[in-house]
Amino acid sequence: MGRMIDGAWHAGKVTEDSKSGAFERQDAGFRDWLTPAGDPGPEGQPGRPATPGRYHLYVSYACPWAHRTLIVRALHGLEEAIGVSVVDPVMLENGWTFGTERGGSGDPLHGAEFLWQLYARARPDYSGKVTVPVLWDRETDTIVSNESAEIIRMLAAFGGHGPDLYPAAHRAAIDRVNARVYDTVNNGVYKAGFATTQDAYEAAVRPLFESLDWLEGMLSGSDWLVGDVMTEADIRLFTTLVRFDAVYYGHFKCNVRRIADYPALEAYLERMLADPRIAATVHLDHIKTHYYASHRDLNPCGVVPVGPDLPWAHLTAGGDQHLT
């Protein structure tokens, strides 16, 4: 995957963070916050005003973390307020790139060739991973945040007409669900997929399916994870579920059961895809191409499988095709 050290890009393997056998995700490096008037964030983070037209999102359609921000942007109706650029789905020795031959958009703001160049522009001595999403401030020409969990909350500051995805009455319950889902499901698939020892793999895959069993039980009697409406907990789970049978089941060896084998989870997935705003953010072509063609230490030949035949693929923007 590579990383930056003192402002310079250094190529690396996708399993380089698994040298002990267990995959460890690095914290985000930019954590400013958007508020209606530019006041500090909820934990005292430096604040910036939520001004339409000032900010720009850099995303990958393949990345589940970036996908969260696209869904919330759509639900809040912020397509005109916040522009979007999409990286190429294949990520090799140069990390995320702005190639356009496989559905990327290029970089209209700076004409950058690689995402790491924007990190260097924002912080010339930056050291760390180069990840999406990136929320960019066009006025100050720097990164506001690259932490998806925080970006999806701060988008509400624009005062759109979207749903309250983090209602005060349910925040404690949402935080509890998020904590387990993040550790064992969202990040759990990566811990299983990037493990380099049998023990590390099993230490990740067993809690993953324990949590999927738990979620199946929760959703057997309810449409949503918390309360009676969709919240951010649902969005955070959805972006992993929608990739699971197409990628994580095979590519990451998370093959105890498919989401299709869980009646309540499958119905929940299709319930969310029934919202055309959400379905339009799902690009299975980018998703499959990214994982299978980018992770060459896991899939050396970069061959992208034709299947599986997903019953809901026709609802999505990218269908079930691949781009290689």
DSSP one-letter code for 256: S
Structure tokens at 42: 């909820």
Q: Which two tokens stand for residue 180?
A: 């387990």
Locate 175 and state its tokens: 């935080």
Q: Which of 246, 255, 241 is nearest to 292 (CA)?
A: 246
Phi, psi of 255 (to 5 degrees): -110, 25
Q: ω before 300 within 30° of 0 (cis)?
A: no
The C-alpha atoms of residue 76 and residue 78 are separated, in whole angstroms, by 6
Q: Return the active site residues.
A: 63, 190
The contacts of residue 87 (CB under 8 Å, 6+ apart) are 58, 59, 60, 96, 97, 98, 99, 104, 115, 132
Q: Which residue has the tokens 């020795």?
A: 93
The total of other beta-carbon atoms located within 10 Å of residue 162's CB is 17
* Dist CA 222 CA 230 (whole Å): 11
Tokens, residue 214? 């738990």
The total number of residues written for the chain in this structure: 324
CA distance 264 to 289: 28
Distance CA 265, CA 267 (A): 5
Residues 104, 98: Cα–Cα separation, whole Å? 6
Residues 78, 323: Cα–Cα separation, whole Å: 28
- Cα angle at 77 between 76 and 82, to 5 degrees? 100
